[in-house]
């Protein structure tokens, strides 16, 4: 694959380019030709560097499947963020609701870096919890504002969030 892209290499390059360009467009919000061109150039450089240095997509069918599952995951995680926000509002405004900060750790069955990163980011996105660290063996360290959010991560089998993330990346058999 040195010198020639090949079908998987071409897909990887094009997929990375369009992903980076979409990210640029969403973050810049400016639709002037200069900025559109600059964004395309930056996306091209990033795609080229990642294509020549890393193999991001080895199995394009699996990557497309993961993308579809991830898009399906977005409404669920958005709802969890809303629920967590509501929980924080209640805790702040209601003196009877406990604020009991704690740091917990739990072992995840996730193996890939992208799955563990996605779970860590999902935990951090839900207000009241912050992922502090993730060990390579899948141990997560999370700061929680109260016991209830922490307990939802400590369930066995894995929490619903971990199971959903695992399903996205083919590391879990069912979508809870």
Question: How far apart are the two ends of the chain, measured CA to CA in Å?
Answer: 40
Tens-digit pLDDT profile for the chain (176 aa)? Answer: 444 445 556 777 888 888 889 988 888 888 899 999 999 999 999 888 877 655 555 666 777 888 888 899 999 999 999 999 998 998 889 888 888 899 999 988 898 888 999 999 999 998 889 999 999 999 999 999 988 888 877 775 668 898 999 999 888 776 65
Q: Is residue 173 part of a domain?
A: no
10/76 same-domain check: no
| DSSP annotation string for the chain | --S--HHHHHHHHHHHHHHHHHHHHHHH----HHHHHHHHHHHHHHHHHHHHH----S-HHHHHHHHHHHHHHHHHHHHHHHHHHHHHHHHHH-TTS----EEEEEE----SHHHHHHHHHHHHHSTTEEEEEE-TTSEEEEEESSHHHHHHHS-SS--HHHHHHHHHTTS-S---
Q: Is residue 20 part of a domain?
A: yes
Predicted local confidence at residue 54, as pLDDT: 54
39/103 same-domain check: no
Q: Is residue 1 part of a domain?
A: no
Q: Give how many domains the chain has, as a whole number.
A: 2
pTM of the model: 0.68
The CA-based angle 176-106-151, given to 5 degrees, is 65
Q: Is residue 175 part of a domain?
A: no
Predicted local confidence at residue 174, as pLDDT: 65
32/76 same-domain check: no
106/89 same-domain check: yes
Predicted local confidence at residue 4, as pLDDT: 46
117/46 same-domain check: no
Q: Is residue 31 part of a domain?
A: yes
Q: Is residue 176 part of a domain?
A: no
15/86 same-domain check: no
33/86 same-domain check: no
83/100 same-domain check: yes
81/139 same-domain check: yes
* 142/36 Cα distance (integer angstroms): 39
70/108 same-domain check: yes
Is 154 in contact with 107 (CB distance < 8 Å)? no
Residue 29 sits in which domain range? 6-53
108/39 same-domain check: no
86/33 same-domain check: no
């Amino acid at each position: 694959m040195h010198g020639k892209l090949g079908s998987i290499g071409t897909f990887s390059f094009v997929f990375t380019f369009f992903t980076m360009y979409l990210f640029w467009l969403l973050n810049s919000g400016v639709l002037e030709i200069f900025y559109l061109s600059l964004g395309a150039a930056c996306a091209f450089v990033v795609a080229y560097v990642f294509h020549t240095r890393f193999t991001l997509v080895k199995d394009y069918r699996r990557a497309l499947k993961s993308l579809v599952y991830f898009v399906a995951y977005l409404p669920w995680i958005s709802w969890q963020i809303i629920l967590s926000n509501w929980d924080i509002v209640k805790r702040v405004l209601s003196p009877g609701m406990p604020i009991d900060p704690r740091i917990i750790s739990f072992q995840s069955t996730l193996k890939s870096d992208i799955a563990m990163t996605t779970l860590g980011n999902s935990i951090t996105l839900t207000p009241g919890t912050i992922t502090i660290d993730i060990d390579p063996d899948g141990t997560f360290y999370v700061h929680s504002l109260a016991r209830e959010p922490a307990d939802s991560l400590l369930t066995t089998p894995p929490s619903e969030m971990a199971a959903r993330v695992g399903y996205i990346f083919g590391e879990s058999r069912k979508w809870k």
